[in-house]
Amino acid sequence: MEKNFRNASELIKAKARELGFLDCGISEARFLAEEKDRLTDWLQNEMHGEMTYMANYMDKRLDPRLLIDNARSVVSVLLNYFPSEKQSDPEAPVLSKYAYSTDYHFVMKDKLGELLRFIQSEIVPCEGRCFVDSAPVLDRAWAARAGLGWIGKNTNLISPEHGSFFFIGELIVDAELYADEKIVRNHCGNCNRCIDACPTQAIIAPYILDARRCISYQSIENHGEIDPELKGKFENRVFGCDICQDVCPWNLKSEAHHEPAFTPSFKLMNLTKGEWNSMDKPKFNELFSNSAVKRTRFEGLKRNLRFLEG
């Protein structure tokens, strides 16, 4: 019986890889007791800034059984987005790697939907739901519990095989599946490169990120004016930031993705500094119609560009 139980989980993982996912792991759906105190402290210290949604639905955020009736298992997946391309103008405002191409929400949702249908038709009849930043789910916590990596000092999930340039998504299902073992050892060791490299000192201590000082937060989530104390510290980042990942030794393992939907446009990658700064709304809409960059809207992008230019 246990062998068949294991085989079902292995079939799910094989299907996930067939769909293009980098890795897949499974954990038992239960209350996240270890994460409760850390999340509560982070919120009480207001390190979430204007991301008020992080304080909403705390009960569901910590217990998936309140999201899906009779939830038994969480299937976590990773999707590689590490690019082979680079922006051609070294003086152009820097775009985070994850925003080079099609918004990952669409790509992952489609793949997760196909994986759920496979489980329902080939493994076990069940009810379930796909999650890609679309509900109060602690993605990194579930991926860590599924043995896909550990939470690094920069607060990102780090895979010992793949580094950290990937998206995380989940299926929460009411079927019992064989759960993977969590990686117990933290492999960051004495390394503090991410902390030392952060130009705004957003990583205020190992494993603690003050989002209010993070370039990604300020350039995407913050809808007001950018904190003037951070002037001159953005290192030319216009949307998001990869610095703490770029310096991480584990990302020497990162390999370019093979996802066609993540192939960036030639126009975007070859934008010059002048073209960025003179961008109008029609050009913005042309370049970013299916991109995560539209999240900041044209006005937000222009604000970011003005902040970089001073």
Tokens 């042309």 appear where?
286
pLDDT for residue 3: 46
* d(C-alpha 86, C-alpha 91), whole Å: 12
**CA distances, 56 to each of 40, 86, 135 (Å):** 12, 38, 10
Sheet holding 73-80, edge to edge: 23-28, 73-80, 166-173, 128-131
- φ, ψ of residue 205 to 5 degrees: the values are -165, 160
- Six-digit token string for 205: 């201590």
Could you read off the pLDDT of 120-151 as tens digits, one per residue? Answer: 999 999 999 999 987 899 999 999 999 999 99
Tell me, letter by letter, the H, E, C secondary structure of 51-90: CHHHHCCHHHHHCHHHCCCCCCEEEEEEEECCCCCCCCCC
Distance, in Å, from the CA atom of 162 to the CA atom of 144, rounded to the nearest integer, reads 14
Asked whether 248 and 150 are in contact (CB, 8 A), the reply is no
Q: CA-CA distance, 101 to 258, in Å (whole number)?
A: 13
Q: Are 48 and 42 in contact (CB under 8 A)?
A: yes
Point out the catalytic residue in the list 41, 59, 133, 280.
Answer: 133
What would the pLDDT profile of 17-66 be if each residue is shown by its tens digit? 999 999 999 999 999 999 999 999 999 999 999 999 999 999 999 999 99
* Confidence band, pLDDT 50/70/90 cuts, at residue 1: very low
Question: How far lies 288's CA from each of 118, 279, 292, in Å?
Answer: 32, 12, 7
Q: Is 246 noted as a catalytic residue in this protein?
A: no
155 DSSP assignment? S
Residue pointed to by tokens 């999930």: 157
pLDDT in tens, 2-16: 447 789 999 999 999
